[in-house]
Every structure is written in C-alpha cells, then in structure tokens.
Amino acid sequence: SSELTQDPAVSVALGQTVRITCQGDSLRSYYASWYQQKPGQAPVLVIYGKNNRPSGIPDRFSGSSSGNTASLTITGAQAEDEADYYCNSRDSSGNRWVFGGGTKLTVL
Amino acid sequence: QVQLQESGPGLVKPSETLSLTCAVSGYSISSGYYWGWIRQPPGKGLEWIGSIYHSGSTYYNPSLKSRVTISVDTSKNQFSLKLSSVTAADTAVYYCARLWFGESDDAFDIWGQGTMVTVSS
C-alpha cells in the first residue's frame, strides 16, 4: 500500500500530552518522519527515524513506531504547538514517498 | 546555513508547462543528498512530486510521472521542476526540499519557503 492515514483533527488541553498517529503498511519497513506546518508557513521537520529531533526542536516532541503505526507525541503541549502535522514515509516500493493527509492539532 | 529558494512564474495557462527552479545556497548539491519537490493545493495536504540525486537519478510520484521532469544543474547549484499539460488541479504552493536518504529512514530536513502557482487562463 502507498497510503498513510492520519486522524483529521485532534485536540489537547494546554500542558497535557497528545499522541498523533499515522498508519500504513510501509511503516512496517520504513520509519516515518513528522512535519509541523503553521498557517502560511513551510513545513518544519520535527521528528525523523527511530526518534530523532533536528536541532532546535523542543524535547517535548518524540516519536515511536509499532507495527504499521507511527506516533508523534507532544508531552506538555504548548499554545505554539497548535498546527497541522504530517507524517511521511517511503511506500512499499522503497523509492517513492507519501505523505499522510495531515492532522490539525488544537491546543485548548 | 543551508537555504533553498524557489522561483518561477506565479501564473501558468492551462495545457502549458509549469517550470520552477530551486536555488540552493550554503551547500553544494554535488556533495550528496537527494533533492525533492512537494506541493500543497490551497487548503489541502502535502503531495510528494518527485526527487533527484545529484547524479541525476530520479524518482517520481506515479500519479504525476507522465507529466513530470526533475533535473539538476550542479554548475548553478540548483534543481528544477517541469510539469506539463497543467490544469486547475495543479494550482498549489510548490516547495523544494532537501531529502536526507537513509537505509530505512529519511526526511525532508530543509524546505524552501514555497511559491504559489496558479493555473488559469
């Protein structure tokens, strides 16, 4: 399968923990990467590989994977974390990339 | 630091060819990495278009493959996108990005700011 499935919307209370998930057959073979996108801005990489954060990404962002599901967890969500989040991975062929449909995170 | 900058016409007529260039600064394309194009229609999600290695090896989204050409010019340190026979469905913000390509993990680690392309007569 070349598809990655995400919940369209998730909400979290300020300071609480939220998990955003991404499902797809290719995730059994390849790690997902995660991108944060705020309105009018380009996406920003927040997690890649097993659980790697680029420089400058707060450590409240973490990643995990089990079977065909990858997860992005925000521990202690902040108001500035309100954004769209996209997962990305190679498809089962190994040489094409696919994005999930995106999850809109609302911080209450 | 590494920066990517897209450039090209903001308006393209239906049935014509969309052409964009991504200029890379702070890093030599010849040194490695893959480079890619991603687009986002207004109000919608991200769609991978294709990726290229500095040697010229390319990978394309199967849904666009018949219309897409991505090329690299190492002498100018830039790579380009051509999308032929465009329709209104190709209206989108087009991003270029650097693709770190690992054995089982990879990531688009640096992105351009994006350029809006509208297909309209």
Nearest by CB to residue A99, choosing from B46, B51, B114, is B46
pLDDT in tens, B62-85: 999 999 999 999 999 999 999 999
The predicted pLDDT at position A93 comes to 85
> Is some CB atom of chain B closer than 8 A to the CB atom of A86?
yes
Best CA proximity match to B19, nearest among B56, B63, B71, B55: B71
Percentage of chain A beyond pLDDT 90 is 93
pLDDT score of B17 more than 80: yes
Lowest mean pLDDT among A14-23, B4-13, B27-36: B27-36
The predicted pLDDT at position B32 comes to 85
8 Å CB contact of A97 and B46: no
Chain A residues close to B100, C-beta within 8 Å: 48
Residue B99's Cβ-count burial label (10 Å; 0-12, 13-18, 19+) is: buried
pLDDT score of A71 more than 90: yes
Chain A residues close to B108, C-beta within 8 Å: 33, 35, 43, 45, 88
CA B47, B77, A38, B99 torsion-angle sign:
positive
pLDDT in tens, B32-64: 899 999 999 999 999 999 999 988 899 999 999
Give the pLDDT band (50/70/90) at residue A2. Answer: low
Give the pLDDT band (50/70/90) at residue A1. Answer: very low
Q: Which of A95 and B77 is assigned the larger pLDDT?
A: B77
pLDDT score of A94 more than 90: no
> Is some CB atom of chain B closer than 8 A to the CB atom of A17?
no
pLDDT score of B87 more than 70: yes
Q: How far is B7 from chain A (nearest CA, A)?
A: 15
Lowest mean pLDDT among A60-69, B9-18, B54-63, B107-116: B54-63
Q: Which of A58 and A91 is assigned the larger pLDDT?
A: A58
Mean pLDDT across chain B: 95
Nearest by CB to residue B111, choosing from A42, A50, A102, is A42
Residue A86 to residues A5, A26, A34, B32, B34, Cα–Cα distance (Å): 10, 16, 6, 26, 20
Percentage of chain A beyond pLDDT 70 is 98
8 Å CB contact of A97 and B48: yes
Give the pLDDT band (50/70/90) at residue B103. Answer: confident
